[in-house]
Structure 1
Amino acid sequence: MARDVAVIGFDGACLASIGLFLDLFGQMRLRVAHQFRTRDDIGMHTRAKLLGPSPRPIQVLGGWKLQVEDGLAATPHIYIHVPDFYCPEETTPDYIAKLHSVIDWLRSQYAGGAHLSATGRGIELLAEAGLLGNGPVPVARGAAAEFRRRYPHIRVNTTDPIAEVDRIMMARGMTHEMSLLTRLIGRLLSPTMAGTLADAMGMELDRPGLSDDPLVATAQMWLSERASRGLHIAALAEHLAVSPQTLIRRFRAQLDMTPRDYLRLIRMHSAQSQLRDTSRPVSQIATLIGYNDLKSFQQAFRQHTGMSASHYRALVRNGDDPHSSSPGPANPSDLGMPLILC
């Protein structure tokens, strides 16, 4: 069963902050459905949920009521977003005290391996949960003095709009929330998906993991976008208007691998993510990532990990680390590859 992503809602949260999260993941679901529209049995298993401290509706900023999907259950999540909120500074201690169940839940989800993000004052809930260490955290200049007073051990950054602490990413306000969420989508789903959504929203998006060589970077995006299809490197070279030999030479110079090696890594890491986070049959995963027959997939997966797909799934479901007993390729996130395929 796939682990889900969630935005946690509560009274006083900003409707725009919640809505942006749900809209982006809704667009992803539609795009995945379109890509695999010829396969009735394939879709985006990971779901985006709106959760609340209890199943009752929450009252967001402005007085509107919003129905949540569920209360805080123990189900683990891949990724959780904490929206911005508003309350007067003089009532902040009482306001946060009422959110103790949310703060405790965020702490337990993080301990269980979830990635977290927060926008604006939502960062304060992560600070209350003790998850930010010494920082740095992005805070607007006008709010920096109050944040320092309440959390003197956390370093404040008033220059950079987005900052990271371990598995936590933060934006100092809703102006930068779109950039934060698309960056996270690129890291947790795929750089191609993030780029597609950014283009649809009219955004300029940095694409981490891509080569400095424009030809190789274009090839990386082309391969990532089409990894689930039958591909020929000659078609890629023709698309880029270069010879296959030139493409291979520049790929090796930049990434120390061929385009075919890169494509195989994308597919294998996608398979690992699905084995970990979905209950799809191995045969369906093989089809999803571009293999025409199960035997070819099994051979490639064993060569990549040193074990069968079924063994890999059993290890990760038991909480073991399969990488400790496998050779392991280069870190896929360093190559612009997906960390989680839904």
Structure 2
Amino acid sequence: MQHLSIIVPNGENNLSSIVGSYKIFSRANAIRKSKGQKERFKIELVGTSENVDFYDGLFTVKTHSHILGIKKTDLVIIPSLNHNYEKALKDNGPLIEWLIKQYKEGASIASICTGAFLLAATGLLNGKSCSTHWSVDTEFRQMFPRVDLKTDKLITDENGIYTNGGAFSFLNLIIYLIEKYYDRPTAIHCAKVFQIDLDRNLQSQFSIFNGHKKHDDTTVQQAQKYLEENYNDKISIESLSKKLNIERRTFDRRFIKATGITPLDYLQRVKIEAAKKSLENTRKTVNEVMYEVGYSDTKAFRTVFSRITGLSPNGYKSKYNKES
């Protein structure tokens, strides 16, 4: 029997991702047992504290074992953290060291949502792809610049390290792991019992572009403001750089350093965010929305929209506009 360690970090964390992981893996074990097979995992909640309080003491999680009592584990799940990441990392130093040790000894590690901050603090994600909640894109990039962050992805799987996007999308990661460690029929059974959509692999359609404003480059901030206020006009990035008295190559470099994306990608994301809102809340056709946000080429608009959201404009409207 293999060992599954579901981490219960110190501090205010996300209770649902701990309980949800425990319940679904327990159900997968029960399915195997009902077929006369041995359970795949011994499942334990582990940490450095015997009890961890949640939501100002409204709930308390009692761990099964201290991490020092777990000499060898096969799969580790890190739940979503609170949003005070520096404090969370400081409060869980021994966990970070334990994760490094377990990975080096052959364990796989999966992080849920902002649990990626704890995983990234180990250095194990350096040079690897990673997903987390789209809303913390900027903070994560600033803290861990050596990680290849992909917030459009719902799940990443690389060298025994799994990460996933935000909030309740962790359920898709757990089903993914169930299929990997059990089998497809067990994953389907669990997905039906817990009513989880199978095979969803993007979180792009759920993201809200927030502009990556947490930086100190005032010139880039001016450029961002200009792009956001004039996105429906024909904007030349070359002309904008001249307007700001910056050589184009230098402008691109500074913009990428401050925001994590190019000025052109920023402009496209501003346009698509405006298009999404219009498709959600108005009766306008896709073509009307396209012209409204500054596109005149139908193919170009559909290509950019699909790349950023993971859905076609019509598909997005059908899904999120209740009148359609």
Question: Normalised by the shorter chain, which TM-score bucket?
Answer: 0.5 to 0.7
CA RMSD, Structure 1 to Structure 2 (Å):
2.0
Give TM-score scaled by structure 1 length.
Answer: 0.54
Distance 1:203 1:94, change over 3 A: closer
Q: Which amino acid aligns with 1:134?
A: G
Give the corresponding residue for 1:144: 137
Distance in 2, matches of 1:144 and 1:51, equals 28
- For residues 88 and 134 of structure 2, the distance between their equivalents in structure 1, rounded to whole angstroms, comes to 22
Question: How far does residue 172 in structure 1 lie from its aligned partner after superposition?
Answer: 1.6
Query: In the alignment, which residue of structure 1 is the partner of 2:238?
Result: none
Tell me which amino acid in the other structure corresponds to 1:27: R
Within 1, Cα distance between the matches of 2:126 and 2:101?
A: 16
Seen in structure 2, the aligned counterparts of structure 1 residues 26 and 97 have a Cα distance that, compared at 3 Å, is same
Is residue 189 from structure 1 mapped to residue 189 from structure 2 by the alignment?
A: no
Alignment partner of 1:198: what SS?
helix
Counterpart-to-counterpart distance in 2, 1:82 and 1:112: 17
Change (3 A) 1:144 1:45: closer
Aligned partners of 2:113 and 2:60: how far apart in 1?
Answer: 21
| Conserved? CA contact 2:134–2:166, under 8 Å | no
Equivalent pairs: percent with the same residue? 20
CA distance in 2, matches of 1:138, 1:45: 27
Question: Aligned in 2, Cα 1:206/1:103: closer, same or farther, shift over 3 Å?
Answer: same
State the alpha-carbon separation in 1 of the partners of residues 190 and 152 from structure 2: 26
Which position in structure 2 is the counterpart of 1:25? 25
Structure 2 counterpart of 1:34, one-letter code: S
For the pair 1:119 / 2:118, whether they are aligned, the reply is: no
Partner of 2:79: 83
Corresponding residue number in structure 1 for 2:63: 68
In 2, distance between residues paired with 1:62 and 1:195?
A: 36
The residue type equivalent to 1:77 in the other structure is: T
1:52 to 47, 51, 54: 47
Unpaired runs of 5+ residues, structure 2, are 201-324
Q: CA deviation at 1:165?
A: 2.5
CA offset digits 1:236-274 (Å, max 9, x no partner):
xxxxxxxxxxxxxxxxxxxxxxxxxxxxxxxxxxxxxxx
Asked if the contact 2:112/2:132 (under 8 Å) is kept, the reply is no
Q: CA deviation at 1:61?
A: 4.1
Partner of 1:13: 13
Change (3 A) 1:175 1:94: closer
Cα distance change on mapping 1:85 and 1:62 into 2, 3 Å: farther
Deviation at 1:153, TM superposition (A): 1.4
* CA deviations over 1:58-77 (Å, ceiling 9, x no partner): 12345321111010124211
| Larger RCO (CA under 8 A, 6+ residues apart) | 1
- Taking the aligned partners of 2:17 and 2:143, their CA distance within structure 1 comes to 24
Tell me which amino acid in the other structure corresponds to 1:50: L
Equivalent position SS for 1:175 = helix
Quote the residue 2:268 is aligned against.
none
Whole-Å Cα distance in 1 between the matches of residues 182 and 56 of structure 2?
33
Q: Is the 8 A contact 1:12 1:61 kept in 2?
A: yes
SS at match of 1:12: coil
Distance 1:136 1:46, change over 3 A: closer
CA distance in 2 between partners of 1:164 and 1:119 (Å): 13
- Distance in 2 (CA, whole Å) between partners of 1:182 and 1:193 is 9
**Mapped contact 2:131–2:152 kept (Cα < 8 A):** yes
Shift of 1:27: 0.9
1:238-277 pair list within 5 angstroms? none
| 2:279 matched residue in structure 1 | none
Equivalent residue, structure 2, for 1:216: none
1:156 Cα offset (Å): 1.6
Question: Take 1:146 and 1:170, find their aligned partners in 2: how far apart are those partners?
Answer: 17
Residue type at the aligned position of 1:52:
G
